[in-house]
Structure 1
Amino acid sequence: MIFIYAKDKKIKCLTHTESLERNKQLLSVGYIHTATLDPCRFLEHLHNNDLSVPGDLFNSVKDLSKT
């Protein structure tokens, strides 16, 4: 699993272990947990969905920072 934290349009991607260690610290400085991804399912989404419209792939990744 990948744990996504966002602040000011920037993201931090952490493993489960890293998230357990850093969650409180990240929240205390203003990061928000925005998503938990299963990397396999996310790659399937990127590959199997019609992302041929310019910007779709970009937007799928940029959406991870939405709070």
Structure 2
Amino acid sequence: MAIFYILQVGEKQISACLQEEEEEAEMFALMVLAFFSLTCLLMRNYDILVWKNLPAISLTADSLTASHLLQ
């Protein structure tokens, strides 16, 4: 549950930053998304947390990364 909340807050923060200064916002967005992608990857590979909806978290992070890179 905490991961979902953090992802939602991160997404809102990224959206707010993207509306302000683009260069700094892009770097911030990439760092946040890289962190969450790595976290999801580690949780999945090393079974730190076993959740039924873990692939959904990874897909969310991947789609966020793709959508921000395309903009």
Higher helix share: 2
Higher strand share: 1
When Rg is computed on C-alpha atoms for both structures, the one with the higher figure is 1
Greater relative CO, 1 or 2 (CA 8 Å, sep 6+): 1
> TM-score, with normalisation over the residues of structure 2?
0.28
